[in-house]
Amino acid sequence: MAAPIRILTAVPICDGHDSAINTINLEFIRHGIEVIYLGYHRSVGDIVRAAIQEDVRAIGISSYNGGHIEFFAEVVDLLRKRGASDIKVFGGGGGTITHEDAIAMRRKGVEQIFFAGTSLTEMTDYVRDNYGKARKKRSLSKSREIELARELTEIEGTYGKGKRPARKRKIANPQPPIRNSKVIGFTGPGGAGKTTLIDELVLRILLRQPTARIAILSHDPSVVGEGALLGDRATMINSQNDRVFMRSMATRGQAGGLSPATHDCLALLAQSNFDYVIIETVGTGQEAMPFQKNGIVDLTVLVMNPDYGSQLQLQKIVMLDLADVVVVNKSDLQRARTAHSEIEQRLEQNRRAQRLIDTVAKRHRDPGVDRLFDLISADRTR
């Protein structure tokens, strides 16, 4: 099974029109494409940084606010300056981009512009025909960020249908061990607020530890037999920073909330001078034990929503037995106090030194997030 095509899609700064790109994203993933969606109101720098870290084949930009000639050209130019000119740029804008504009944009290095009335099939065929072929051998880059992104792509590419687990893959210089970076695993059901919570923790690290570097491995599910919508970047505002390296990974058919390549990707990141490596699983259910079976994290954080159901449902959540920290996020909801009490009783039965913290991740300067930050950064002073 060939590795899926990976592209990044985004909407430019000062543009909140996302209905068209959301429709296109869904069509792409139905045809086996992995789409990293950056969201709307994104700057040139955000788009290029994300494209390089994700090592995508191309960037698709949907623009409806004007200024498209200059904006697209700046993306192409910054890719060239950063040594990533092999990442191509295409896009569209309904009736906003004229045919004359498209000619000017192609002269500036934009590969393709789609106009109003273009079918989704035509767009999908274009991406598959132009970005589905194996990449030509690329020369070494002077940028460690680019090389790291390429190495992660190589690791993911060793996995496919029928291939063995990649723990057998040899990584140069396996010492020092993973523990050089503090590795924190976040898991929990979809909608609990894991991504927002991680983004708030990243903000605190950036502000309070001025030299710290952070890597994030964020997972989303692959549609069976198809592609994946990797959308965590769209809600991670604070993580759009040059000290943060973020990589979006699809599960590519593996159950349990992680990719088959996660272990090896983590081993690589642990050798890359990051102070923190944060892993976010797919939104998981009662059965998920994504980290313990691999022994790849220092601290496991289970993020829960107060509305988990009855106490019987609570008893069946296996991760409550295994997590080091349990976070009741959205603790401003009506049922949060009851949830805290029920979870506390559940944890007492485990007779382990587990911590229970209430947070409202969306709230500015939330004291619960501050407590969680103090806990995970206790031995990191940089």
**The residue to which tokens 């249908």 are assigned:** 161
pLDDT band at 223, cuts 50/70/90?
A: confident
pLDDT in tens, 157-203: 887 543 554 444 444 444 444 457 899 999 999 889 999 999 999 99
Pair 116, 208 in one domain = no
Taking the C-alpha atoms of residue 303 and residue 190, their distance in angstroms, rounded to an integer, is 10
**Could you say which of 77, 99, 131 is where a domain stops?**
131
Per DSSP (E only), the strands in 23-129 are: 34-37, 58-62, 88-92, 112-114
Element (H, E) at 73: helix 68-81
Pair 40, 94 in one domain = yes
Taking the C-alpha atoms of residue 266 and residue 360, their distance in angstroms, rounded to an integer, is 29
Taking the C-alpha atoms of residue 248 and residue 232, their distance in angstroms, rounded to an integer, is 8
Q: In this structure, is residue 148 part of a structural domain?
A: no
User: The pTM is what?
Assistant: 0.92
Q: In this structure, is residue 140 part of a structural domain?
A: no
**CATH number for the domain that contains residue 68:** 3.40.50.280
- Closest by CA to 7, choosing from 261, 269, 156, 230, is 230
Q: In this structure, is residue 62 part of a structural domain?
A: yes
Pair 308, 255 in one domain = yes
Q: In this structure, is residue 166 part of a structural domain?
A: no
Separation of first and last alpha carbons in the chain: 43
Pair 199, 318 in one domain = yes
Taking the C-alpha atoms of residue 29 and residue 20, their distance in angstroms, rounded to an integer, is 15
Residue 150 tokens read as 């390429």
Range from 40-54, 169-183, 288-302 carrying the lowest mean pLDDT: 169-183
Alpha carbon distances (Å) from 104 to 66, 68, 72, 185: 14, 10, 11, 47
Q: In this structure, is residue 154 part of a structural domain?
A: no
Taking the C-alpha atoms of residue 280 and residue 353, their distance in angstroms, rounded to an integer, is 23
Pair 214, 319 in one domain = yes
Helix and strand element counts for the chain (H, E): 12, 13
Torsion of CA 270, 259, 359, 380, to 10 degrees: 0
Pair 103, 190 in one domain = no
Taking the C-alpha atoms of residue 199 and residue 216, their distance in angstroms, rounded to an integer, is 10
Q: In this structure, is residue 248 part of a structural domain?
A: yes
Pair 121, 237 in one domain = no
Taking the C-alpha atoms of residue 302 and residue 304, their distance in angstroms, rounded to an integer, is 6
Per-residue pLDDT, averaged over 291-317, amounts to 84
Pair 116, 210 in one domain = no
**CATH number for the domain that contains residue 271:** 3.40.50.300
Q: Which domain holds residue 210?
A: 175-376
Pair 184, 319 in one domain = yes
Percent of the chain residues topping a pLDDT of 70: 90
Structural domains of the chain, count = 2
Q: In this structure, is residue 189 part of a structural domain?
A: yes
**Per-range mean pLDDT, top range of 124-128, 255-259, 280-284, 309-313:** 124-128
pLDDT in tens, 85-134: 999 999 999 889 999 999 999 999 999 999 999 999 999 999 999 999 88
**Could you say which of 109, 131, 153 is where a domain stops?**
131
Pair 184, 121 in one domain = no
Q: Is the dihedral of CA 20, 247, 206, 87 positive or negative?
A: negative
Percent of the chain residues topping a pLDDT of 90: 70
**Could you say which of 106, 131, 156 is where a domain stops?**
131
Pair 121, 223 in one domain = no
Q: CA 283, 321, 264 angle in degrees (round to 5)?
A: 55
Pair 66, 196 in one domain = no
Range from 151-165, 312-326, 337-351 carrying the lowest mean pLDDT: 151-165
Q: In this structure, is residue 136 part of a structural domain?
A: no
